[in-house]
Structure 1
Amino acid sequence: MAATPPPILDGPPVSSDAAIGASAMRKATRHLIPLIALGYGAACMDRVNISFASLQMNRDLHFSATVYGLGAGLFFLSYAVCEIPSNLLLYRFGARRWLSRIMVSWGILAIAMLLVRTPWQFYTARFFLGVAEAGFFPGVIFYLTQWFPLQLRARTISRFYISLPLSSVVTGLVAGPLLSLDGHLGLRGWQWLFLVEGIPAVLLGIVFLFALPDGPQQAKWLTEEERTWIIRHVRNDPSLVGEHSHALGATLLDRRIWQVGIFQMLMLGSSYAYTFVAPDVIQRATHLSTSRVGLIIAALSLLAAGAMLLNAVYSDRVQCRTPDSNYPRYMHIIPWAFLISAGFFACSLSTNPISVVASIGTIIIAYNAMQGPLWSLPGSFFQGRSAAAGIATINMIGMIGGFLGPYFVGFAKDLTGDYQRGLLFMSIPMLLGAAIMFYLRAETRLRTRALSPENPVPSS
């Protein structure tokens, strides 16, 4: 990485420390981020390919919008329930084995989706897919906090998280051709979609087992000096002063965890409300073929990937100027929350094809742009087992929104006849989310002032 590493915070000065740190970060980025990005990309494809499959599946299986929305959302409900246990098991057994187990099991269940015939089979398959995948994303976030200091974390997260919009590019490009295989070898097009897009997760899970080190201590490609540098800088993050030794119960009850978790719930509720219906909304507005709708979503996702990287790099640069606080991070989240709200409002009121596509594009771009700064926050609160539990708690709360959003818009469509009226109400959650971030920003500023040299923490 080109960024200058943060300074050593304890121990004797080493003249070559900056060079050692830069080398360590380059190696960690090169060996870890591409593999993790591929894994998360496979997860995103298996999670949302149902939005394209629904264009045929709902018709073939006679699923109403409510049935589809409930099944799509059940994934997130089971995912949420299993988040904390999964991350604690990752902490106990190591990232290599646990992430591999997650990927192989969810890949098999994603393929099994092609066997669905009834609503209850659909509900069951989606529920257990959520159980299988639970813990992958928070596990990866926790894993990266063991490798990269806070000042480099937003861009690091964005470099693997970019697979989220890029997976939409891939899904958009391949969904049309796969759906066009309708009838080949006795399979419907939507069955081909589940089959082909589930296989990469199984293969990547096997690669994870052999290629991913559990932590810096197990990385054979690091020198001893590089390994020491990473461990020292991660453990001595200046934003973690006074935050190292939290009991697990105290971590789960920490109000910052719940505030970020509620923000995540509002954000994911909004996100998946449009994710699972975007192909349908665009197709109804533009009257284009499935393949052309896929190309539109692919183009919007490419723009979102660029916004994600740019905002993360900018956030890290601002963070480096104030390394003792994550206070600046919030202003790289709040404006995007307002844009998501505006996008929903505009989409719900327009029938013009260009306006509908532009509105959905605004939502997609804004959602992805905030992810790097947002997910750099939890790792600045705690370390070790507490960090694993805290990150999982945030994602657990957030996944409840993943259940509520799709179910609500599905129910609203059956009630009103189209998706767009339901999307009008989705402009509200991110206004509440912005308010939460404003509050956290003010609270962090007060905390930073209290811990400043002019206001030392009183000794116990």
Structure 2
Amino acid sequence: MTALDTELERSTLRTVAWRLLPLIMLGYLASYMDRVNISFAAPTMNAQLGFTASVYGFGGGLFFISYAILEIPSNLALARVGARRWLARIMITWGLVAMSMALVRTDWQFYLVRFLLGAAEAGFFPGVIYYLSLWFPRAYQGRAISRFYIAAPLASVVMGAVAGSLLGLNGRLGLHGWQWLLIAEGAPAVILAFVFLKFLPDRPANAAWLRPEQRAWLETRIAADNAAVGAPDHSQFRALLRPAVIALVAVNFLYLGPYYAFTLSAPTILKEATGLDAAHVGYLVAAGGITGAIGMAFIGWSSDRMRERYLHLAIPLGLVAVCFAILAAGPAPAVVMAVFLAMMACYFAVGGSMWLTPSEVVHPRAMAVTVAAINSLGQVGSFLFPWLWGVAKDRTGGFHLGLTLLPVAFLSAAVIVMGLRRARRRA
């Protein structure tokens, strides 16, 4: 490769990254924030509406049932309609539904809105993963995915920083503080949808901001990567039957569900374990978002640099299990805070590496369906674990039982990943 070729590669990918990733990151930040902001609303919302832990856990998990059901159809529609219009459609509907959460008064209304929120958001995350595979060669996808996915921990920073102020608006215009929080954090998605429509091209061929030689280089490189994976299956759905894909579904199930069970109650758990007030718990959650962003950025950089995916997934899974085991032991408040920050770094490192593995085992033609299937079927755990977590809380009066079971799930996921690594090396 000549110096001219190297400069063309760098300039092309630099331009693509700056044009696409900040916008996509903002979209996912809004998505993640609207998914879990009820964790900050829960203490006052549950008290005022009379929701038990079982009601809250069941409603919190219902989001993921409709999300899972519509994930694959949504991604098929995205591939047919184009990312620009379909992602914007998703954002408008989920933003409006998220704001409507402020209107709930009964447990059944809570269940309905959470179910509709999952249906509205279905397809956004796997759609973005598929979209980035159209723009970034495989050697750069780790950095690209981690830079957009870093919005998830940064959402914790935003929520932790503003939750106290929004909850402090209690009584303004006749609204409770938790209602202000849900409305204010749902509106950005609707606004961003119109930005997506204007600035997000569907493919490199539609990018007027790429020079002709940059566009030609990028399309040639992506085509070469696609050819290196091998011939596509006749049917996109045939890829879903591969043992590696089934294993990734199990990994997603075992790491997503337990984390959402924890995170939907995290402010309450941290408040009880540390004695901090609501505002300082928010700052702690925000600090966890920062360590999570660092962990995610590091894992994407390291995975691309070493050209290795499996250990970069298994090791953080094992470390998360260790962190939850320590939290379950009920350590001193200072230890709880330190371990929480470490857990967030390791957990989001898992998220940063999880979505690098599908491109290792399936053809890009099947990526849209495969990523959607892994995400949607794995999301079933995000319904089951929060629900069972709430039942355990009501039966035992505390979170200890739930915390003691979380390490088992993460260790099991790590074992599956190591089995995948062994099978891949044999192949």
Alpha-carbon deviations, 1:3-56, whole Å to 9, x = none? xxxx6xxxxxx7732221111101110000000000000001100000000011
Residue of structure 2 in register with 1:247 after alignment? 235
Residue of structure 1 in register with 2:401 after alignment? 421
- Secondary structure of 1:418's counterpart equals coil
Residue of structure 2 in register with 1:402 after alignment? 382
The equivalences for 1:30-429 within 5 A come to 30-237=18-225, 240-319=228-307, 328-429=308-409
1:224 positional shift: 1.6
Aligned length: 427
Alpha-carbon deviations, 1:57-96, whole Å to 9, x = none? 0000010000000000000111011110000000000000
- Secondary structure of 1:376's counterpart equals coil
When residues 66 and 399 of structure 1 are mapped into structure 2, their CA distance, relative to the original with a 3 A threshold, is: same
The yes-or-no answer on 1:446 pairing with 2:409 is no
Q: Which has the higher helix share?
A: 2
Amino acid at match of 2:41: A
1:349 positional shift: 1.6
Q: Is the 8 A contact 1:111 1:199 kept in 2?
A: yes
The farther-off stretch of 225-234 and 97-106 is 225-234
- Counterpart CA distance in 2 for 1:265 and 1:227 is 38
The yes-or-no answer on 1:432 pairing with 2:412 is yes
The farther-off stretch of 350-359 and 120-129 is 350-359
Q: Is the 8 A contact 2:133 2:364 kept in 1?
A: no
- Secondary structure of 2:309's counterpart equals helix
- Counterpart CA distance in 2 for 1:231 and 1:344 is 44
1:423 positional shift: 1.3
- Secondary structure of 1:333's counterpart equals helix
> What TM-score results when the alignment is normalised by the length of structure 1?
0.90
Amino acid at match of 2:360: S
1:227 positional shift: 1.1
- Secondary structure of 1:16's counterpart equals helix
List alignment gaps of at least 5 residues for structure 2.
none
1:351 positional shift: 4.9
Q: Is the 8 A contact 1:243 1:382 kept in 2?
A: no
Runs of 4+ displaced beyond 6 Å: none
1:101 positional shift: 0.1
Q: Is the 8 A contact 1:87 1:135 kept in 2?
A: yes
> What TM-score results when the alignment is normalised by the length of structure 2?
0.97
Amino acid at match of 1:120: W
List alignment gaps of at least 5 residues for structure 1.
1-6, 8-13, 320-327, 448-460
1:370 positional shift: 2.3
Amino acid at match of 1:409: W
- Counterpart CA distance in 2 for 1:351 and 1:435 is 27
- Secondary structure of 1:329's counterpart equals coil
1:223 positional shift: 1.3
Residue of structure 2 in register with 1:324 after alignment? none
- Counterpart CA distance in 2 for 1:287 and 1:174 is 20
The farther-off stretch of 427-436 and 130-139 is 427-436
- Counterpart CA distance in 2 for 1:98 and 1:40 is 14
The farther-off stretch of 406-415 and 130-139 is 406-415
The farther-off stretch of 428-437 and 361-370 is 361-370
Give me the identity figure in percent.
45
Amino acid at match of 2:33: M
- Counterpart CA distance in 2 for 1:131 and 1:94 is 19
When residues 15 and 309 of structure 1 are mapped into structure 2, their CA distance, relative to the original with a 3 A threshold, is: closer
- Counterpart CA distance in 2 for 1:15 and 1:231 is 20
- Counterpart CA distance in 1 for 2:331 and 2:175 is 35
Q: Is the 8 A contact 2:153 2:292 kept in 1?
A: yes
Amino acid at match of 1:431: L
The farther-off stretch of 265-274 and 192-201 is 265-274
- Counterpart CA distance in 2 for 1:87 and 1:180 is 39
Over the residues paired in the alignment, what is the CA RMSD in angstroms? 1.4
The farther-off stretch of 272-281 and 357-366 is 357-366
Amino acid at match of 1:255: P
Amino acid at match of 1:236: A
Alpha-carbon deviations, 1:206-226, whole Å to 9, x = none? 110111000111010011211
1:171 positional shift: 0.2
1:362 positional shift: 2.8
Alpha-carbon deviations, 1:295-334, whole Å to 9, x = none? 0111121111111111211111111xxxxxxxx2111111
1:159 positional shift: 0.5
